[in-house]
Structure 1
Amino acid sequence: MEQRRREAGRNHWYHETQSSRLPDDVVSLVPEAAHVQDRFLLDLTVDDALLAPHVLWLSTARKLCAQFFPERLAPDRLNTLSSYDRLSTALTVAQVYGVQRLCNHYAARLTPLPGPDSSRESNRRLTLITQYARQLASQPTLIDGNLRRQLDEAGLSISDIVTFNQIIGFVGFQARAIAVFQAAMGIPVRWLPGFDIQQDAPAERFQQPPLSWHTDLPLRDTALADERLQAQYQYCAQQPLLSELAGLLIQDPLAIEPFVQLSTQLQPAQDIHREATLAAMMSARINGSVACFNDMASRWTGDAGLPEAVRNGERALNAWSHHHPAERAIIQATQLLTRAPDRFSQAHLQPLVEHGLSTEEALRLVIWASFCGWLNRLKLGLGDIG
């Protein structure tokens, strides 16, 4: 059963993984949070002028909401993730990031659903799903081949595993996007004391010689795919950021097209290319995605000492950025948004504007950094370097 409780001093939903049926009279803390028109920003009130430059990618993000969390879902042999599995995963990830609007929404949508049966197999499956989701969200470098094999042993198909990792990445992106627009509107942050923020990945991961990324999951044979899916595969494979993932992403065929569209829509314009590369490097360094970091470091066109400073950790980075105030503002904003989106506020956006970016460019930059966190988790969840 998805048991929820409110702890003293913590205005937050929690859930535990025990399976059985919910009593009919159980209601969520904020039941109206399930009924929103905008399933991505969750009816957050944002000025039209602020939203206008982001209409295209927000529309695509809403399409992904519908694909990952449909109103009606009929699992089959190759796609076994139920609505309960998906929303339980979303709530787990939302809890990690602490964005209250997101926690309320997924808790309210999950509460009325019947949980899985109380068999040992169902309990083990739900426990593994919950633990994996929490680890990939909060400590992504803990994910390895052994954990992927446990998901397989728990009955998740390859399509399930791809979709599952996509959902975790998507909800993390959603949490940060909401946090960014709340900051842009000057909404005070309400983070909860006592919650640890994400710790940076160990520097040792970034000291090894360059190695290529690979997956230990079987890739789909594109020769057996229909014409439409082959076209989507080719389109995905042509995107530098996604090419290595293409053979896996087509195993979630309904999500691949809007996901690739979103990746292209969010890539910042050429005039802030260097700033975007720095933000992407910071995201990869904190999350521990060596493959993503090396890719972005190879694109860096600024001061040659920066990639090495980022590799070596915060002390080296602080020393480097002392004489680079504009880059320092980007570094600090990306660090907080990546580590603790619930604490991200207008005070972290304003320095970007003060150092030369327009409000639109500043928002684009931090939304891009949020999407990079999703890519980092796909690379860490679906494979490794070696």
Structure 2
Amino acid sequence: MEPRRYSGNSHWYHETQASARAEQTPPLYPEAADIEDRFLLGLQQHASILTPLFHTFRPVLQAGQALSHLLFPDDITPTLTHTLTLYDRLAIALTAAQVTGIQRLCNHYAARLNPLPGPDSSRESNNRLTQLTQYARQLASQPAVIDTAALQRLDEVGLSTPDIISLSQTVGFVSYQARVVAGLQALLGMPVCWLPGLNECVDAAWHDFSSPKEYRLRLPPLERRYASEQQLAAIEAALALPELTHVVWLAAHDAGTLHAWSSLQSTLPSATQEEALAQAVAARINGSALCFERYQGRFLSELQCGVDDALTASRREPLPHAVIQLAAQLTRAPDRLSAAHLQPLLAQGITHQQLFCLVQRVALANWNNRLLQALGEY
């Protein structure tokens, strides 16, 4: 017999992820929905001491803000090939934000999601939302566990290839945003708001990095003969960045996000030796062999075995040791990053600008790792 359903209890995972109720319960922080800066979520208003830093990184921050408006506009009209609604996107974002544990993000996405009408309470809609949030949770927490079967489950509930691209980009963006916000909160010396019960992500197994293999896409890429002018322009811009080469034609199914994603990465200068090391640490933790194999710097063999091995090998060299520690903490548990994690780097003469650039590199690596893990395999 079909189980009886009550209004407002159609789904689980979060109290805002439910069908519309007769009396809508307001979110805990309703004002978080109306904040003007949807990327840093009000941090600039409380950060006068970092004004020079914000001025230096204005192009990067503006690109992040543009992405937040692109991925989460005030309204979305689904089409036959792009079926994700605004409710879907915000539910995905809230799920990814909850994984990171950054309360500022959770408040914002919960407040925006709360007043929206949810899907109907049919079994099909319920299963679809379950698969969306389950995929988002896995990709946000342990990208190495995403496999072809995970994408197949999304296909079975009616998601198109462009939908899966947009879904993966959304999780990647929130993972990036969370780590930028965490880094700024640490720079400002804000107290850590740790949510009990959330565990650090588990590092990928060492055998994923033991031998080079050929990277293969899990979904069909866009064919040139069907590409629009907007898609071709986004592809041309993205091909200039080596980090994106393998997935450009597949990511072009969501041309707007691809263009904004590549524009964001092109605003940063070439990575320094320390930034490249930090990116490799993130790739090692997340299981992204494709991103990891680009690194040919110091402590490479130790990193292949594990981050703890690299920490042991670098313990007599304060700067790379501190870089590895910061990148590991920001990747594994951004909600627990505090000013104390930054002190070893500041003690080595690293400036606030260099430190924020390092945070940006780790945050972007976490986005790139997740997208490459989701869309392809070795």
Question: Shorter-normalised TM-score: what interval?
Answer: over 0.9
1:9 equivalent in structure 2: none
Q: What is the rounded CA distance, in whole Å, between the counterparts of 1:17 and 1:54 in structure 2?
A: 34
Which of 254, 267, 270 is residue 265 of structure 1 equivalent to?
267
Listed one character per residue, the Cα deviations across residues 180-231 of structure 1 (whole Å, up to 9, x for unaligned) are 1111111111112332111111112111x21122212011112322334212
Gaps of 5+ in 2: 1-6
1:357 equivalent in structure 2: 350
Matched, 1:65 2:68: yes
Could you list the runs of 4 or more consecutive aligned residues of structure 1 that deviate by over 4 angstroms after TM superposition?
Answer: 1-4, 16-19
Q: How many residues align?
A: 368
Q: Which amino acid aligns with 2:288?
A: S
Listed one character per residue, the Cα deviations across residues 345-370 of structure 1 (whole Å, up to 9, x for unaligned) are 11112221222322101110111111
- Given that 2:202 and 2:285 are in contact with CA atoms closer than 8 Å, whether structure 1 keeps it comes out as yes
Listed one character per residue, the Cα deviations across residues 74-101 of structure 1 (whole Å, up to 9, x for unaligned) are 1010110001100000010111111111
Which of 312, 328, 335 is residue 342 of structure 1 equivalent to?
335
TM-score by length of 2: 0.93
Matched, 1:242 2:241: no
| Two-structure CA RMSD over aligned residues (Å) | 2.0
CA spacing shift, 1:233–1:191, aligned 2, 3 Å: same
- Given that 1:206 and 1:290 are in contact with CA atoms closer than 8 Å, whether structure 2 keeps it comes out as yes
1:374 equivalent in structure 2: 367
- Given that 1:17 and 1:130 are in contact with CA atoms closer than 8 Å, whether structure 2 keeps it comes out as no
Matched, 1:212 2:205: no
- Given that 1:3 and 1:15 are in contact with CA atoms closer than 8 Å, whether structure 2 keeps it comes out as no
1:125 equivalent in structure 2: 128
Matched, 1:190 2:193: yes
After superposition, where does 1:218-297 map in structure 2 within 5 Å?
Answer: 218-266=220-268, 268-269=269-270, 273-297=272-296
2:4 equivalent in structure 1: none
Aligned-pair CA distance for 1:3: 6.1
CA spacing shift, 1:372–1:27, aligned 2, 3 Å: same
After superposition, where does 1:19-168 map in structure 2 within 5 Å?
Answer: 20-44=19-43, 45-47=46-48, 48-168=51-171
Q: What is the rounded CA distance, in whole Å, between the counterparts of 1:186 and 1:285 in structure 2?
A: 28
Aligned-pair CA distance for 1:119: 1.1
Q: Which amino acid aligns with 1:74?
A: T
- Given that 1:2 and 1:17 are in contact with CA atoms closer than 8 Å, whether structure 2 keeps it comes out as no
2:322 equivalent in structure 1: 329
Q: What is the rounded CA distance, in whole Å, between the counterparts of 2:266 and 2:286 in structure 1?
A: 22
Secondary structure of 2:243's match? coil
- Given that 1:283 and 1:373 are in contact with CA atoms closer than 8 Å, whether structure 2 keeps it comes out as yes
Secondary structure of 1:74's match? coil
Q: Which amino acid aligns with 2:314?
A: S
Q: What is the rounded CA distance, in whole Å, between the counterparts of 1:175 and 1:32 in structure 2?
A: 19
Secondary structure of 1:252's match? helix
Listed one character per residue, the Cα deviations across residues 88-126 of structure 1 (whole Å, up to 9, x for unaligned) are 000101111111111100010111111101111111110
Q: Which has the larger displacement, 160-169 or 224-233?
A: 224-233
**Aligned-residue identity in percent:** 43
Q: What is the rounded CA distance, in whole Å, between the counterparts of 1:130 and 1:228 in structure 2?
A: 30
CA spacing shift, 1:153–1:188, aligned 2, 3 Å: same
Q: What is the rounded CA distance, in whole Å, between the counterparts of 1:315 and 1:193 in structure 2?
A: 24
Q: What is the rounded CA distance, in whole Å, between the counterparts of 2:9 and 2:326 in structure 1?
A: 35
Q: What is the rounded CA distance, in whole Å, between the counterparts of 1:112 and 1:228 in structure 2?
A: 33
Q: Which amino acid aligns with 2:47?
A: V
Secondary structure of 1:241's match? helix
CA spacing shift, 1:131–1:178, aligned 2, 3 Å: same
